[in-house]
Chain A
């Protein structure tokens, strides 16, 4: 078992893991009371919360896209490495990107060195307009997806979010990045390319602080989004993340959606959901049930209290159940 795990990990080039300046749980649990977004002034009221040495997270609402949360439901983050700031995701709009940039500049004196979008979904990259001079980076597959689907995302977010989107145009990442280990100032950053939530899911593990930025592969206390999902691949990626955690690669998890947490809680929740979902859709289709009947059924109690329920579940049903229905009728 140990050997197998080492084999799995040998693909990664990281050697040592130093967990300096890991915050205490008490520090993490401290929630600063914050004013909500101000729709009149289009102010997201972004706050930077320090997670570890040189590491801050800007937390979005654990919710679905809504005007009253400014459609800010994503956690973005930044790391002041000592050799420039690395920005992780740029939020749902031009205004978000601008406000994020001002917040980062007010929080650290270091100049920004790198802006990265972890996948192709709109709230990962719609703030790129504010970072155009930094030429945001993403995996090549994500860049292609941003270019292909950006217009449709914009239509949808303008409809859902209204004025918060003012002046936003999709600005796909401008540089393709390759996974690997990067020495950045005092930080040793490892970029890992996985998939399953989308075709290209970038994960950042900061070996210097033990913080993993897992993007959309891990959700916590919130229904996972699935428009570009491959469920089998997603489960494999969760296994990989679990193995990395067990090998001591990281301790803190920053999901894009849901609270920052320690350990495997989000991995376990996301795996439970994906496994249940795939089985439920297959069994229901094999039993001959119609989509309208599934929409009317409640989800199991352990999922019922999650944020974005039932809207995100219904979106998943509408997106994926027809695929299972067709399969049950013998479609290739």
Chain B
């Protein structure tokens, strides 16, 4: 009953809340620091996640996400900076941030010997730009992004394995498989790691998430490195693009923020 009343009240407010896009491009250039996605959060994001380094917005950094997030707990995002690499930019790191999430930093990906492409799922608390900040070896940042609409609530509700308690039986279990020729000239490695990825924003459940992850070759040299943060979805499903010549036994190694280890062999 309480909820019904709240709903009715909210509906009364709907005309005020459904804002007619005051954040849209071009309307507030000064306030958005020239952000092509027109977000007033951009200047602050830039300060926090880029600092004083040079930044430019680039069409060569493609962020693919749904126009509308059907499932705010699992919003599929693919970052593709191959066009940047093709233009001669050497990619050092891809940092993913979400302007309007309570926790804005999603992950940092160092492609190293993999292609600068990464697919994953994230939680979205409300409609927001999702951005890839791509830092080149020379220190400059190239930024791409996309607006994703959402009904919301992705960060502040518990995931399924937390609700039914099953997470403790499967923690850090890994499933992995290589696929040929999804993208031309590469082998795709898809990995799923069982982990509740608690954001710390649900009452009584502290932040508990995979922290670091790397893929090693037989000589213990990394193919790529990844640092994950709270907004990455429960039981992360990650896709990487490896060179065609990758072979032998690979090793996936990492740990969560409680020190639990991830260690799994992957046959290439």
Q: Chain A residues in contact with chain B, CB under 8 A?
A: 151, 154-156, 158-159, 162-163, 165-167, 169, 287-293, 295-296, 311, 314-315, 317-319, 322, 325-326, 328-331
Contacts and interface: CB of A to CB of B under 8 A. Distances in A.
Interface of B: 3-4, 7-8, 10-11, 14, 64-66, 68, 70-71, 74, 76-78, 119, 121, 151, 175-179, 182, 188, 190, 192, 237, 239
B181 to A, nearest CB: 9
A288 B74 contact: no
B74 A166 contact: no
B66 A314 contact: yes
A169 B4 contact: yes
B177 A328 contact: yes
B179 A318 contact: no
Contacts of B3: 151
Q: Is the interface of A mostly helix, strand, loop or mixed?
A: helix
Contacts of A322: 74, 237
Contact of A290 (B8, B76, B178): B76
Contacts, number: 80
B192 A287 contact: no
B68 A290 contact: no
B176 to A, nearest CB: 7
B190 to A, nearest CB: 6
A292 B65 contact: yes
B7 A291 contact: no
Contact of A292 (B77, B151, B192): B77
Given A288-B177, A290-B239, 11 more contacts: A154-B7, A290-B119, A292-B64, A292-B65, A293-B119, A314-B66, A318-B66, A318-B74, A325-B237, A326-B175, A329-B192
A314 B70 contact: yes
A295 B67 CA distance: 10
A291 B14 CA distance: 32
A329 B182 contact: no
Contacts of B74: 318, 322
A328 B64 CA distance: 23
A169 B179 CA distance: 48
A220 B191 CA distance: 39
A330 B175 contact: yes
A162 B11 contact: yes
B119 A292 contact: yes
6 contacts: A151-B3, A169-B4, A288-B190, A291-B76, A293-B119, A314-B68
A229 B61 CA distance: 38
Nearest to A322: B74
Contacts of A292: 64-66, 76-78, 119
A181 B237 CA distance: 50
Contacts of B76: 290-292, 295
A15 B257 CA distance: 68
B175 A329 contact: yes
A237 to B, nearest CB: 26
Nearest to A330: B175
Contact of B64 (A169, A296, A317, A319): A296
A290 B70 contact: no
B192 A331 contact: yes
Contact of A166 (B11, B68, B119, B176): B11
B249 to A, nearest CB: 17
A154 B71 CA distance: 17
**Which 3 A-B pairs have CB atoms at the shortest separation, nearest pair first?**
A288-B179, A318-B70, A291-B76
A318 B11 contact: no
A288 B70 CA distance: 21
B190 A319 contact: no
Given A318-B71, A325-B237, A293 B11 contact: no
B26 to A, nearest CB: 26
Contacts of A329: 175-177, 190, 192, 237
A319 B70 CA distance: 8
A307 to B, nearest CB: 17
A162 B15 CA distance: 10
Nearest to A314: B70
Contacts of A287: 179, 182
B176 A288 contact: no
A163 B192 CA distance: 42
A290 B14 CA distance: 35
Contacts of A166: 8, 11
